[in-house]
């Protein structure tokens, strides 16, 4: 029974890791988009920039918040990976003992 419980828990952790990884990728994507917007601002006319900003097309990304979120997610993923390794080792021990 212990092996089954560990396997179910390992599966739940894998799902959580996938979710955190997807959120981290979205944060990275926002940062890449912000970089593109910075480059575009150097090339566009002031009038175009003002109109696009008024529409919410430019400047909608809070880079500081996105970077902080990414750091937090990466830290959480590292901790989760440590827990997953421990659970997998426990599962291997429980499976071999059975």
pLDDT digits (tens, 9 = 90+) for 14-56: 999 999 999 999 999 999 999 999 999 999 999 999 999 999 9
The whole-number pLDDT of residue 1 equals: 66
Find all residues with CB under 8 Å of 37, minimum gap 6, and list them: 58, 59, 61
Give me the numbers of helices (H) and strands (E) for the chain, helices first please: 3, 0
Q: For every residue of 19-63, which 3-state class applies, written as one string?
A: HHHHHHHHHHHHHHHHHHHHHHHHHCCHHHHHHHHHHCCCCCCCH
Structural domain boundaries enclosing 6:
2-97
Q: What is the pTM of this model?
A: 0.83
Number of domains into which the chain is organized: 1
């Amino acid at each position: 029974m212990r092996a089954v419980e560990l396997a179910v828990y390992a599966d739940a952790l894998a799902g959580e890791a996938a979710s955190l990884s997807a959120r981290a990728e979205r944060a990275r994507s926002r940062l890449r988009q912000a970089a593109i917007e910075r480059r575009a601002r150097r090339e566009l006319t002031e009038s175009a920039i003002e109109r696009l900003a008024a529409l919410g097309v430019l400047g909608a990304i809070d880079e500081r918040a996105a970077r902080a979120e990414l750091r937090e997610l990466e830290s959480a993923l590292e901790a989760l990976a440590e827990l997953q390794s421990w659970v997998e080792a426990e599962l291997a021990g429980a499976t071999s003992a059975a």
